[in-house]
Structure 1
Amino acid sequence: MKNIKLLLVLLAFPLLTFGQSLPGLAPGQNSTQKPVLHGKNWMAITGKPLAATAGASIFQKGGNAIDAACAMLAATATMWDVLSWGGETQALIYHPELKKVIAINALGYAPTGATVDFYKSQGMEYPPAYGPLAATTPGTPGGLMTMLAEYGTMSLEEVLAPAMQLAKGYPIEAQTANSIENGKERIKQWPYSKKVFLTHLGEEREAPEPGEIFVQEDLYQTLKKLVDTEKEALANGKSRKEAIYAAYDRFYKGDIAKEIVRGTREQGGLFTESDLANWAVKIEEPLMVNYKGIDVYKLQEWTQGPALLQSLNILENFDLKNMGYNSAEYLHTVYQAMNLAFADRDFYYSDPAFEPKSPIEGLLSKEYAKQRAQLIKDKNDPNMGPGDPYPFQGGTNPFKNQLENQGESIAEYTHTEPLQGPSDPYFDEFFSGTTSIQAVDKDGWVVSVTPSGGWVPAVIAGNTGVGLSQRMQSFVLDEKLNPYNLPEPGKRPRVTLTPSLALKDGKPFLSFAVQGGDSQDQNLLQFFLNVVEFDMNVQEAVEAANMNSLQMQSSFGAHEIKPGHMILREDTPNWIRAELVKKGYKMEFWPRTSGPINAIWFDWKHGSFWGGSSNYGEDYGIGW
């Protein structure tokens, strides 16, 4: 299930502070609930302690940051850390020899037959959130093997060893075990999922108990097949890289692929063998904007990442520091900037390999940002819509008429029912979880990864142990919402997943990512501003009180919108609350609002790394 579930459990308990001060003091003065991580040789941070340990073990054996990141990815996928092996992987890599940032696109695509007409013929208004018809083709195995082959140093066998040990049996943590129990009625619909997850079928509790040794023999055999293929290729004189790609081919073109297709189709899915064979990882150029001398990198517009870049471009027109951290004026300004950027995300972002192509050059134009910034007034605008970036890239908008009527088009998706606090089902979709992985080493390799897909309850594809993605739901079927992001075979949906890297003076400055759905780039934007504008250290910045806007289309389920709604931390002063009410906001107050952010800051003065890991959930880091 999604990591928000653990958050809801933790909200019931009092907070313990690290140090003597309490939250709410001036930035730079408040202590943190977890200490800063320090290291000079390497650092490994991810969503589970066991997975962070897997990364640390690879570093201790001489691996680089890519090797460690791949081991952590394999471990988190095996542990169902809100993802599985059939999900998707997105990464940004800083290559110290080339001195450039490289983007990894390992997002699966829509299978044969997955069209607007098909889903509508099934009586659907949008692709389903669960089940075999929610699945894009598996991306994580290809992403892992591509990163390892191209930029790692170790064998696939070495990197997969921790995950294979976990698959043979590990003490399952309460979060995942309880997610299985909560999702068991769905799980029972899918025979291979039922076989793996419901270890006590027919008893009152059918899921594993917390701490029970959870065994995934089918998954172990799948991973063993990959390792065996690599070994055979090496024995036949192939290079390390060639041997890893031989394993890649077995997954996507060999007997593993055949079983994935068979098992998926048996359960009502659309996969064909050609779908898996023709899919490929893309090594891409990332997008970048400069914010006050810092180059900030995100993935292309098949993710929501450019929304953070657009927000920075808009906010560059305001004096945020003088507004004061989390003042009413600051919160209002950031909220409005995000609304403008997310309105563009919702209308324009899509897979750039397909027509019509998103007008990304115009969207990231500084002049376009100035135009958008002028729309920010004293009160919230609940009808904030997308702009027209085409003139800023010398073009004409092909959907101008539709753009002018956008307010009417989205009205039917506006969510008007009152929310019931953090436990409201609305937030299950809004904060749809994932995990994040951060790794660095002394040689200069930096990796930021946001993998996801195949969370519990997931459809397991036949006897492979591979849980399938649910990412088809990020497409829309109504072209009035987004004429660019409609499903068709071979097309990638526009996803929320969004790793981040920032360089300053040509050197790594910050590596950061967060789990969650539509909240990701909201939390990452404010984390970045916490460091850059308010001089917080990396742990203070990941724990600091953030604001979350609900005034954008959800990327999941029914794609609902809640204009003017804002989530704030419960220690927000009354006078700030009163000012925000005057500005037209409806507010929810939660004990924690920072998102589970993981990040690494580079201390070039002392030649060390500072790591920050979220103060709730199970995120964990190790440095040396």
Structure 2
Amino acid sequence: MKQLYLWALCCLPWMSQAQNLPGMAPGSTPNDKPILHGKNWVAITGKPLAATAGAAIFHQGGNAVDAACAMIAATSTMWDVLSWGGETQALIYHPLEKKVIAINAMGYAPTGATVDFYKSQGMDYPPKFGPLAATTPGTPGGIMTMLAEYGTLSLEQVLAPSMQLAQGYPIEAQTANAIESGKGRIKEWPYSKKVFLPHLGEEREGPSPGEIFVQEDLYQTLSKLVEAERAALKAGKSRKEAIYAAYDRFYKGDIAKEIVRGTREQGGLFTEADLANWKVKIEEPLHVNYKGIDVYKLKEWTQGPALLQSLNILENFDLKSMGYNSGEYINTLYQAMSLAFADRDFYYGDPAYVKSPMKGLLSKEYARERAKLIGEKNDPKITAGDPYPFQGETNPYLDILNKNKEKIAALDPSQANSTLDETFLSAFQSGTTSVEAADADGWVVSVTPSGGWIPAVIAGNTGVGLSQRMQSFVLDENLNPFNLPEPGKRPRVTLTPSLALKDGKPFLAFAVQGGDSQDQNLLQLFLNIVEFGMDVQEASEAANFNTYQMQSSFGDHEIKPGAITLREDTPEWILKDLLRRGYKMDFWPKTSGPINAIWFDWKHGTFWGGSSNYGDDYGIAW
């Protein structure tokens, strides 16, 4: 990372992208990756092989839901910072019903996972790794529910690519090196060691890049799902009923029994009832309107509403006149996000247990009051507001809120720790993957699946890596009274797919990996397109900034007031302006985040796919 004032002022490619300089048509600027143009379909995700899986499903006549399910399954099999025991959350545009549907396939806390239990283990937060970090598996149920309800193909067809991958595929350097670097922890769990470390005792015990990586246990588990579907079809069941027969085998049959046995053997809390009682929820998403565009996010069991709150706040400013990534623009966005994320940190949680004040939080009136708090300089003491009066209620947690405000007001901002060490950044921006798919019939899918990243505990002889999502709970109600662990409760997660409609038709499908940075990058992508006229690929590669003035959702849930990551070619005059405004800066070569997005060109009846130059993400269009 470079230090302040070391940049050549002539290196400003992003300025021309943003402003569409005279003589340069939109879309003609030199991006690292080309736009994906398609007439029939688009499939984008975190690994090229997984995008190929989506393309294969489209070529078989599947719709965007079928293709998205195949890509989720493939990325889970390839350990693209997730596994089969993780969680899946999606937004689906249903072209016949002309509405956006939300899929909640987040696992929940198992029996015995309580505040008192974790505190009795000497923990300040649930652990980052291991069997006690695991929520129940959600991804298998998410895939099968989406496929059964909105897909067209069989489970066998959709799982075929991932089953081939499980039989052996050339592993990428990113995953292979993650296994090797995490092998110390992997050796603590016998079933993980069996799968991940094929060269035990050698200098490199994990697979090498390009080596054929075989997962026989996972292949057998997927085969059992296909067997259940085949048996149901043979018995005269419908396509939908047959898929749910496979669902039941995973959550109530022999697969579930082995997951529970293997997890408990390694110190976990799962019971068979935990898996049997868990259900995928099909929900109504939340949305706000920003300048005629309806933006949809999942409910407050994710961080998604923070993007909606940010848009409501920013609607009170003339962002375009500020100029893309000017000091004033960055300062305004930074504080708007700080206000929204402060509310996220205090009020968001599983609405099935404690109902968050979302009506007030998403009201335009509340946003106008929050917008008044944005000043010329950054405020490191921003705290959660009180949205309850904006929905005609009294805040039941006012005492805690006021106590927190008094505590923060007493802090000396100069003493705030804003150092961005590697451990903090690794936790804050923990990756996952994203999946975007659309087809000519009008189906659109945006997904941010995650959980079960390396190093993961594998549940017995199933090949299923378990989630680490329990760490997103807190154990102190003063931090968030809505997000304390209870058996059956879902943690408030960072995972946050997005869909936007304009004039009642799909406008943009977009998602990104990267922990707490997700809605920051997605907000800036959206504004790049809507306010500054960038095309979807320009917007995906453009220079974003990252703020850390929020509780990290991982590890020790730290907050870094005023800390900001900028792209290293940020001009000197902007750096001086931000320094004057109270920011503590560090710099990266690329700051877009691995964004994947689809923009809908209704004038020509085509798709424009974008995938940033940040990581391995890419797609295929036809």
Query: What is the TM-score when the length of structure 2 is the normalising length?
Result: 0.95
Q: 1:24, CA displacement in angstroms?
A: 3.5
Check the 8 A contact 2:592/2:614 in 1, yes or no: no
Q: 1:405, CA displacement in angstroms?
A: 1.7
Which residue of 1 is the match for residue 586 of structure 2?
A: 588
- What secondary structure, in the 3-state scheme, does the structure 2 residue paired with 1:425 have? helix
Structure 2 counterparts to residues 198-597 of structure 1, below 5 A: 198-355=197-354, 357-407=355-405, 416=417, 418-420=419-421, 424-597=422-595
Q: 1:98, CA displacement in angstroms?
A: 0.1
Question: Which letter maps to 2:536?
Answer: V
Structure 2 counterparts to residues 3-82 of structure 1, below 5 A: 22-27=13-18, 28=20, 30-82=29-81
Q: 1:26/1:164 Cα in 2 relative to 1: closer, same or farther (>3 Å)?
A: closer
- What secondary structure, in the 3-state scheme, does the structure 2 residue paired with 1:622 have? strand
Question: Which letter maps to 1:318?
Answer: F
Query: How far apart, CA to CA, are the structure 1 residues paired with 2:481 and 2:615?
Result: 37
Question: Which letter maps to 1:122?
Answer: Q
Check the 8 A contact 1:23/1:31 in 2, yes or no: no
Q: Deviations over 1:114-139 (max 9, x none)?
A: 00000000000000000000000000
Which residue of 2 is the match for residue 13 of structure 1?
A: none
Question: Which letter maps to 2:620?
Answer: I
Check the 8 A contact 2:360/2:391 in 1, yes or no: yes
Query: How far apart, CA to CA, are the structure 2 residues paired with 1:225 and 1:470?
Result: 25
Once the two structures are overlaid, the 10-residue window that deviates more, 113-122 or 404-413, is 404-413
Q: Deviations over 1:445-495 (max 9, x none)?
A: 000000000000000000000000000000000111001100000000000
Q: 1:370, CA displacement in angstroms?
A: 0.2
Q: 1:407, CA displacement in angstroms?
A: 3.9
Which residue of 2 is the match for residue 17 of structure 1?
A: none
Check the 8 A contact 1:307/1:521 in 2, yes or no: yes
Query: How far apart, CA to CA, are the structure 1 residues paired with 2:311 and 2:13?
Result: 30
Check the 8 A contact 1:21/1:31 in 2, yes or no: no
Q: 1:31, CA displacement in angstroms?
A: 2.1
Query: How far apart, CA to CA, are the structure 1 residues paired with 2:407 and 2:485?
Result: 19
Which residue of 2 is the match for residue 15 of structure 1?
A: none
Query: How far apart, CA to CA, are the structure 2 residues paired with 1:450 and 1:26?
Result: 28
Q: 1:26, CA displacement in angstroms?
A: 4.6
Question: Which letter maps to 2:621?
Answer: G
Q: 1:532/1:258 Cα in 2 relative to 1: closer, same or farther (>3 Å)?
A: same
Q: 1:419, CA displacement in angstroms?
A: 3.0
Question: Which letter maps to 2:445?
Answer: V
Query: How far apart, CA to CA, are the structure 2 residues paired with 1:348 and 1:451?
Result: 23
Q: 1:418, CA displacement in angstroms?
A: 2.8
Query: How far apart, CA to CA, are the structure 2 residues paired with 1:247 and 1:270?
Result: 24
- What secondary structure, in the 3-state scheme, does the structure 1 residue paired with 2:101 have? strand
Q: Deviations over 1:163-206 (max 9, x none)?
A: 00000000001000000001000000000000000011111111
Q: Deviations over 1:411-469 (max 9, x none)?
A: 7999726335xxx1211111011100000000000000000000000000000000000
Query: How far apart, CA to CA, are the structure 2 residues paired with 1:415 and 1:427?
Result: 17
Query: How far apart, CA to CA, are the structure 2 residues paired with 1:508 and 1:447?
Result: 11
Q: 1:614, CA displacement in angstroms?
A: 1.5
Question: Which letter maps to 1:184?
Answer: K
Question: Which letter maps to 2:425?
Answer: F
Check the 8 A contact 2:419/2:560 in 1, yes or no: no
Check the 8 A contact 1:530/1:536 in 2, yes or no: yes
Q: 1:21, CA displacement in angstroms?
A: 9.3
Check the 8 A contact 1:181/1:205 in 2, yes or no: yes
Query: How far apart, CA to CA, are the structure 1 residues paired with 2:79 and 2:123?
Result: 28
- CA-atom RMSD, angstroms? 1.5
Check the 8 A contact 2:17/2:538 in 1, yes or no: no
Check the 8 A contact 1:45/1:621 in 2, yes or no: yes
Query: How far apart, CA to CA, are the structure 2 residues paired with 1:404 and 1:540?
Result: 43
- What secondary structure, in the 3-state scheme, does the structure 2 residue paired with 1:558 have? coil
Query: How far apart, CA to CA, are the structure 2 residues paired with 1:615 and 1:153?
Result: 33
Once the two structures are overlaid, the 10-residue window that deviates more, 315-324 or 611-620, is 611-620
Check the 8 A contact 2:225/2:246 in 1, yes or no: yes
- What secondary structure, in the 3-state scheme, does the structure 1 residue paired with 2:44 have? strand
Q: 1:409, CA displacement in angstroms?
A: 5.5
Q: 1:408, CA displacement in angstroms?
A: 5.5
Once the two structures are overlaid, the 10-residue window that deviates more, 281-290 or 611-620, is 611-620
1:143 aligned to 2:142?
yes
Query: How far apart, CA to CA, are the structure 1 residues paired with 2:353 and 2:412?
Result: 28
- Percent of aligned positions with the same letter in both sequences? 78
- What secondary structure, in the 3-state scheme, does the structure 2 residue paired with 1:518 have? helix
Query: How far apart, CA to CA, are the structure 1 residues paired with 2:189 and 2:416?
Result: 31
Q: Deviations over 1:346-396 (max 9, x none)?
A: 0000000002x1100000000000000000011111110000000000100
Question: Which letter maps to 2:590?
Answer: R
Check the 8 A contact 2:17/2:534 in 1, yes or no: no
Check the 8 A contact 1:126/1:473 in 2, yes or no: yes
Q: 1:194/1:409 Cα in 2 relative to 1: closer, same or farther (>3 Å)?
A: farther
Query: How far apart, CA to CA, are the structure 1 residues paired with 2:251 and 2:294?
Result: 36
Check the 8 A contact 1:415/1:560 in 2, yes or no: no
- What secondary structure, in the 3-state scheme, does the structure 1 residue paired with 2:245 have? helix
Uncovered stretches (5+) of structure 1, i.e. residues with no partner: 1-7, 9-19
Check the 8 A contact 1:409/1:481 in 2, yes or no: no
- What secondary structure, in the 3-state scheme, does the structure 1 residue paired with 2:16 have? coil
- What secondary structure, in the 3-state scheme, does the structure 1 residue paired with 2:620 have? strand
- What secondary structure, in the 3-state scheme, does the structure 1 residue paired with 2:312 have? helix
Query: How far apart, CA to CA, are the structure 1 residues paired with 2:481 and 2:556?
Result: 17
Q: 1:521, CA displacement in angstroms?
A: 0.2
Query: How far apart, CA to CA, are the structure 2 residues paired with 1:85 and 1:409?
Result: 42
Query: How far apart, CA to CA, are the structure 2 residues paired with 1:618 and 1:167?
Result: 20
Query: How far apart, CA to CA, are the structure 2 residues paired with 1:412 and 1:86?
Result: 43
Uncovered stretches (5+) of structure 2, i.e. residues with no partner: 2-10, 22-28
Q: Deviations over 1:524-549 (max 9, x none)?
A: 00000000000000000000000110
- What secondary structure, in the 3-state scheme, does the structure 1 residue paired with 2:515 have? coil
Query: How far apart, CA to CA, are the structure 1 residues paired with 2:324 and 2:130?
Result: 43
- What secondary structure, in the 3-state scheme, does the structure 2 residue paired with 1:523 have? helix
Query: How far apart, CA to CA, are the structure 2 residues paired with 1:528 and 1:560?
Result: 27
Check the 8 A contact 1:24/1:571 in 2, yes or no: no
Question: Which letter maps to 1:455?
Answer: W
Check the 8 A contact 1:409/1:480 in 2, yes or no: no
Which residue of 1 is the match for residue 86 of structure 2?
A: 87
Query: How far apart, CA to CA, are the structure 2 residues paired with 1:412 and 1:156?
Result: 58
Query: How far apart, CA to CA, are the structure 2 residues paired with 1:482 and 1:58?
Result: 43
